[in-house]
Structure 1
Amino acid sequence: MASHRKPRGRSAGIRTTPAVGITTAALTSVALLSQSAQAAPAAPTAPSAPVEPSLDEVKKKVDDLYHQAGVATQRYNSAKEKTEKQRKKVDRLLDGVARRADKLNEARQELGSFAAAQYRTGAASETATMMLANDPQGYFDQNHLADRLTSRQKKAVDEYQAEQASATKQRTKAAKSLKTLSESRDDLRTSKRTVQRKLGEARALLSELTAEEKARLAAIERKKEREAKRKAEELAREQAAEAERKRKAEEAAQKEREKEREKERGGGQGSSGPDTGSGPGPGAEPGSGATKAAKVIGFAEAQIGKPYVWGATGPDSYDCSGLTQDAWKAAGISLPRTTWDQVKVGTTVKTADAAPGDLVFFYDDISHVGIYIGDGKMIHAPKPGANVRVESIYYMPIHSVVRPA
């Protein structure tokens, strides 16, 4: 029997379910659109451009590169000096090896004549056997060859053995020295490449600057020079005041000595006049420190205007320690080649007590040096691209002041 219940239409189901889904989706879309409308629109992201270094950063980088090149120059100077010394040592050793070889050949010929004589007489040629043995001394001892040899033959055997041992020792020394020489040359090449690389990097940085930037860089440099000059003038005033104080103190002491002498003479009887202490004072006599300093400064002044060239020791160009070495050589004092060794020669004094001729060393690594000339100034060979010149000692951070003599 057929049911009288009204069947549910398919269309009703379709209308109900999608309606809920559409409503939810629509509400969600409206909410998202509303949030998007309220939010500020995002700006398009542009690719970030590389940050160009400031002019101060470029200057600092260039100065650092020049400083590093200066350090490498001192390493180069040290390696070059060591290489030259080692080469001379090797030459002496090789000459010694050649002389020992000649003497060994002479001793061998002497023994050979004895061996030939034994062969001609039909005797057993023990001398020849000994010469060919790996251990001539052992063979000699075992066979008591001394009992069969004349004193002349015995002397020839002794000389041969002595020369053989000496030649071996000399060859060993020469081989070790050659190895050291090779290592020194490697250090020399490495230091040279380092200097060239650092200077190349500095030149490349400077070449990238515009004309305006170069002008600004020059202005920064002038400001630095003015500040260094101001400090030098301040030091000069302090030193002048101290010198005046010492002069007055010496004058007062001199007057007191004159008064004491007057009292001892009974009020001036028999006096030939006060002793003013005239004549050359300490340091003024020939060979004194003041005389040597004058020679040093005179030499240095004659080099002003010559170019700085790393590794150079004159006479046409200099690096910093090459100039100081040559200047003190003119005064009869031999200084080592590098700043690291020069700073060890002489007496260290305070900067305020610096006197003409003293060596002023710079930076914590002691990679630069100049010659003090007074008034807070020095003569030095600054850096590549610059000439030997007068400059304030405060242009660079001072490490120490040394008086060689």
Structure 2
Amino acid sequence: MGPDKYGVRPGGRRGILTAAVTVVCAVTVAVTVLAAPGTAFAAPSPTPSPSGSPSASVTLPPDKDLEAVREKLDDLYHDAAVATDAYNAAEEAAEKQSAEIVDLAKKIVRGQQKLDGLKARAGRAAAAQYRTGGLPDSAKLLLSDNPSQFLDGAGLVLQGERATKGLIRELTRTQQDLKQYAADAADQWNRLEAGRKAKAAAKKKITQRIAAAEKLQSTLEKKQKERLAELEREAAYKAQTAWLGTGILGEIHGKASAAGKKAVAFATAQIGKPYVWGAEGPDSYDCSGLTSQAWASAGQPIPRTSQEQWKQLRHIDVKDMRPGDLIIYFDDASHVAMYIGDGAIIQAPRPGRTVSIGGAGTMPILGVVRPDA
């Protein structure tokens, strides 16, 4: 029996994907076709324009020209995704640096209070010596005519000398600590400023690339936009078919962990919400904002950006992946999606799109990582 209207083989749909597709239907989100391995996708048929509609008379440029537009848009949005990762990384670093600066400031205050107390103790000791004529206790005992007094007081003198030396050591150590705290705070301020500049540069690049993409799309007539959308779907279908054609789906049998099920459930509940760069919910997400929040909801905090998720989380062979695992895309790890089973992913794709289900093989896979390894 062939695939159903969603392109999924009967009996092959797991519970997670069924729930996801149900939600998709409820919010009228278009679902990417997932076909059985080796099954070719039928290219979507153009939607005929109603008679007399303005777009019906538009002469479409050759597909190769629209394909060039599609590739240019892909490049612009890819650059925006890379810059978004840089922006998110700078923001995450700024939060940590700000917290460290606050902690250092508290240490400096406590250290200064301690230093003031030690200085007060030293001052009292100096005042006492001044009142007794400036002679140390040891000298007074040596000059005493009472041997018993000398012997009885010798121990106290030794204790006093040790206390004085300890006070000096503590004063010195506290001063050194304060100096180090101040140096660390200055270093964090410098890092924070550098991060602020990097964040501003990333934001500028993001807005420029998105603006360029939107401007390019605005030059297209309605009919051209429709054909461009068809070319995008055809490219995705072709890539997914090629990936499934390797037989990889027959090798993937992993079952979701308890935490993985929670992460998938969270991601599924976000379907239909818009992509917004830098967003972590609850109303919108970027790609790594969705995956990081999904796993946070499952009690497993993970890095904020797709690049750090790739660097820090455990790598898994594609054939060993299970629902909840994260698929990292492109050589620069600039995009991430969550695998939900049966060759499907949930992702926040790019500006102008919403959180949706797609085919796992529609983009170049860099690798797979497991947050709850």
TM-score when scaled to structure 1? 0.63
Alignment of 1:348-363 (within 5 A): 348-350=316-318, 352-363=319-330
Query: Does residue 74 of the first structure (1) align with residue 41 of the second (2)?
Result: no
Give yes or no for contact 1:359–1:372 (8 Å, CA) kept in 2: yes
The structural deviation recorded for 1:194 is: 1.5
> What letter is aligned with 2:70?
K
Report percent identity of matched pairs.
41
Instruction: Find the counterpart in structure 2 of residue 396 from structure 1.
Output: 363
Bigger Cα displacement from structure 2, 88-97 vs 354-363: 354-363
- Amino acid paired to 1:349: D
How many angstroms apart in 1 are the aligned matches of 2:368 and 2:164? Answer: 68
Match of 2:249 in 1: 239
> Matches of 1:306 and 1:315 in 2, distance apart?
9
Q: Which amino acid aligns with 1:330?
A: S
Matching residue within 187, 190, 204 for 1:193: 204
| SS state at 1:163 partner | helix
Kept in 1, the 8 Å contact 2:237–2:362? The answer is: no
Within-5 A mapping of 1:171-210: 171-210=182-221
Instruction: Tell whether 2:357 aligns with 1:346.
Output: no
Cα deviation, residue 216, structure 1: 2.4
Q: RCO (CA 8 Å, sep 6+): is it higher in 1 or 2?
A: 2
Partner residue of 1:365? 332
Could you say if the C-alpha distance between residues 353 and 107 of structure 1 is closer, same or farther in structure 2, counting changes exceeding 3 Å? closer
Q: Map 1:132-211 onto structure 2 (within 5 A).
A: 156-211=167-222
Secondary structure at the residue paired with 1:310?
A: coil
In structure 2, relative to structure 1, the CA distance for the partners of 1:111 and 1:61 (3 Å cut) is same
Report how many residues are paired. Answer: 287
Matched to 1:216, the amino acid is R
CA contact (8 A) 1:228 1:393 kept: no
C-alpha separation in 2, matches of 1:391 and 1:71:
21
Looking at structure 2, the residues matched to 188 and 64 of structure 1 have their Cα atoms a distance apart, in angstroms, of 21
Q: Is residue 324 of structure 1 aligned with residue 291 of structure 2?
A: yes
Whole-Å Cα distance in 2 between the matches of residues 355 and 154 of structure 1? 64
Q: How do residues 229-378 of structure 1 correspond to structure 2 at under 5 angstroms?
A: 230-231=241-242, 234=245, 239-240=249-250, 289-344=256-311, 345-350=313-318, 352-378=319-345
Aligned-pair CA distance for 1:229: 5.1
In the alignment, is the contact (CA less than 8 A) between 2:330 and 2:366 conserved in 1?
A: yes
Deviation sequence 1:236-286 (CA, Å, 0-9, x none):
x7635x57xx9xxxxxxxxxxxxxxxxxxxxxxxxxxxxxxxxxxxx88xx
Distance 1:157 1:225 in 2: 73
Gaps of 5+ in 2: 1-63, 136-156
**Deviation of the 1:387 alpha carbon:** 0.8
Q: Distance in 2 between matches of 1:224 and 1:153?
A: 80
Paired residue secondary structure (2:72) = helix
Structure 1 unmatched runs, 5+: 1-52, 125-145, 247-282
8 Å contact from structure 1 (residues 232, 377) kept in 2 = no
Taking the TM superposition and a 5 Å limit, the aligned residue runs for 1:103-118 are 103-115=114-126
| RMSD between superposed Cα atoms in Å | 3.1
* Paired residues of 1:104 and 1:167 also in contact (CA < 8 A): no
Deviations 1:300-352 (A, max 9, x none): 111111111111122222111111112223333232111122124123213x5
How many Å separate the matches in 1 of 2:343 and 2:219?
35
| Structure 1 position 121, deviation (Å) | 7.5
Letter matched to residue 121 of structure 2: E
Contact 1:308 1:381 in 2 (8 A): yes
**Shift in alpha-carbon separation, 1:297–1:92, aligned structure 2, 3 A:** same
Contact persistence 1:69–1:199 (CA under 8 A): yes
Equivalent AA in structure 2 for residue 93 of structure 1: L
Which deviates more from structure 2 when the two are superposed, residues 108-117 or residues 85-94? 108-117
User: SS state of the match for residue 379, structure 1?
Assistant: strand
Question: 1:377 corresponds to which letter in structure 2?
Answer: A
* Distance (Å, rounded) in 2 between the aligned partners of 1:173 and 1:361: 35
The 3 A distance-change label for structure 1 pair 401 and 123 is closer
**Residues in 1 aligned to 2:176 and 2:248: alpha-carbon distance in whole angstroms:** 69
**What TM-score, normalized to structure 2?**
0.68
1:108 deviates by 2.6
Q: Distance in 2 between matches of 1:353 and 1:114?
A: 72
Structure 2 distance, partners of 1:58, 1:322, is 28
Q: Which amino acid aligns with 1:363?
A: F
